[in-house]
Amino acid sequence: MAIPSGLEVALGASLHPGDLAQVVRRIADEVAGPAAAEVDLEARFPEQSLTALKSERLLGALVPVSLGGLGATISDIANACETLAQRCASTALIYAMHQIQVHCLVRHSHHSTLLRQYLTRIAEQQLLLASATTETGVGGDVRTSRCSVTLDGNTFLLDKNAGVISYGVNADGILATARRTPEAASGDQVLVLCTSDGTSLERTATWDTLGFRGTCSEGYQLRSRGPAEHVLPESFALISALTMLPTSHVLWTSVWLGIATDAVNRARAYLRSESRKEPGHLPAGALRLAEAVSALQTMRATLRDALQEYERAMEDPEALSAMGFALRMNNLKLAGARLVVEIVSETMRVTGITGYRRDSRYSVERHLRDAYGAGLMISDDRIYGANAAMLLVAKDA
């Protein structure tokens, strides 16, 4: 029998953020960290980390307490992502992507008994959710679909050539975008819950990349059928604006912040050991560290500001659908993706060849490889383009 964990004992009915943070810290240090190098080298799914997260019921963290979850806030999850990313960025990104999907379900399934039941199952059985928003042939624009949902009585059918489904084969459920009907316009999309029992994945692309190797973001032909009620009633455009986009940007940036924080800590430790060799002498690279820490503070403040705005606006669809809000969330993503590369590059200059090595305790090479992924997951240029268009009409952004 499993020993009751600290979290479950402390939890009772509601969640204490401090307990959550502690449990995540322990998983990061004791499970995710030790496996990180191998996960990266072999580009394999971080099985141990996910098992540990499940055993602490953390996959249902965002599910409301009334549905059996932990009732965590988006800030709690952001902290968890940052902590995990300090030890294994792939684990952290998988956790972030899962929570983005859960958040969409929590906030956009109110009128569906089936979807609410599924949320209960996520918490009970610690199901892992993945996302299939990209599609081959639409040029990376997630707000455009070629495939469409077909209804056969009370059953939906979907066949999607998904360019990327991160950890697809390890997921219990996948939220996929598609056109609402075979006749619908390319931008008239819905979000469909494809559960593993009615879904097959045929691999079409492998994942052997520079960084985030453990996310196993392979391409698949997704074929799914299930109850028509698994098509979320609200349009994807709305779900995207009110939930998926802001949640993605704050959680992704939290992951990048974790990567940057750990790289800075390694550079700091390296300099400390260097300066002990020659006391009273400012080691080469000390100024670079000061620069990196300054940028890190900017990054942290930018994230905190966006998180606060998002949490304030969370229950106000008007505020969430304002153009200024979208601009600011996009700017968070752009700043985060730029700063993580900048900061980790600085730490590489601080640590020199020691940080460049894979086999050093001060290594930041994986951090640098992971950091370059930030600007590509939804390309920065696409976001700059969207912002540039909005700024033609925005007045005080």
Partner 1 sequence: MRDEIRQIVQQHGRLGVEMSSLSDVADLYDAGLSSHASITLMLALEEHFDLEFPERLLRRRTFESVAAIQLAIEELSSLRAPSR
Q: What residues make contact with partner 1 under the rule CB under 8 A?
A: 143-144, 180, 184-188, 235, 237-238, 241, 318, 321-324, 326, 386, 389-390, 392-397
Q: C-beta of 130: minimal distance to partner 1 in Å?
A: 25
Q: C-beta of 193: minimal distance to partner 1 in Å?
A: 20
**Cβ–Cβ under 8 Å, residues 209 and 43:** yes
Return all residues near 248 (Cβ < 8 A) that are at least 6 apart. 100, 333, 378
> Between residues 94 and 190, which has the closer beta carbon with respect to partner 1?
190
> Between residues 313 and 376, which has the closer beta carbon with respect to partner 1?
313
Q: Where are the beta strands (DSSP E) in 167-282?
A: 173-179, 189-195, 199-205, 217-227
CA pair distance 213, 97, nearest whole angstrom: 15
Q: C-beta of 207: minimal distance to partner 1 in Å?
A: 30
Q: C-beta of 116: minimal distance to partner 1 in Å?
A: 24
> Between residues 21 and 397, which has the closer beta carbon with respect to partner 1?
397
**Cβ–Cβ under 8 Å, residues 325 and 369:** no
> Between residues 6 and 317, which has the closer beta carbon with respect to partner 1?
317
> Between residues 31 and 149, which has the closer beta carbon with respect to partner 1?
149
> Between residues 86 and 240, which has the closer beta carbon with respect to partner 1?
240
Here the tokens at position 12 are 């009772």
CA pair distance 374, 390, nearest whole angstrom: 23
Q: C-beta of 385: minimal distance to partner 1 in Å?
A: 9
- What angle, 0 to 180 degrees and rounded to 10, lies between the N-to-C axes of helices 323-351 and 286-313? 160
Largest CA distance in the chain: 78
Describe the strand order of the beta sheet including 155-166 as a list of residue ranges: 150-152, 155-166, 217-227, 199-205
Here the tokens at position 25 are 């810290």
**Which of 262, 259, 267 lies closest to 362, judged by CA?**
267
**Cβ–Cβ under 8 Å, residues 136 and 202:** no
Cα separations in angstroms, 279 against 23, 59, 273: 38, 48, 10
Q: C-beta of 231: minimal distance to partner 1 in Å?
A: 14
> Between residues 227 and 324, which has the closer beta carbon with respect to partner 1?
324
> Between residues 277 and 395, which has the closer beta carbon with respect to partner 1?
395
Q: C-beta of 238: minimal distance to partner 1 in Å?
A: 7
Q: C-beta of 172: minimal distance to partner 1 in Å?
A: 31
Here the tokens at position 225 are 């059928």
Q: How far is CA 133 from the centre of its chain?
A: 14
Helix (H, G, I), strand (E, B) or coil at 135: coil
Q: C-beta of 256: minimal distance to partner 1 in Å?
A: 25
> Between residues 185 and 301, which has the closer beta carbon with respect to partner 1?
185
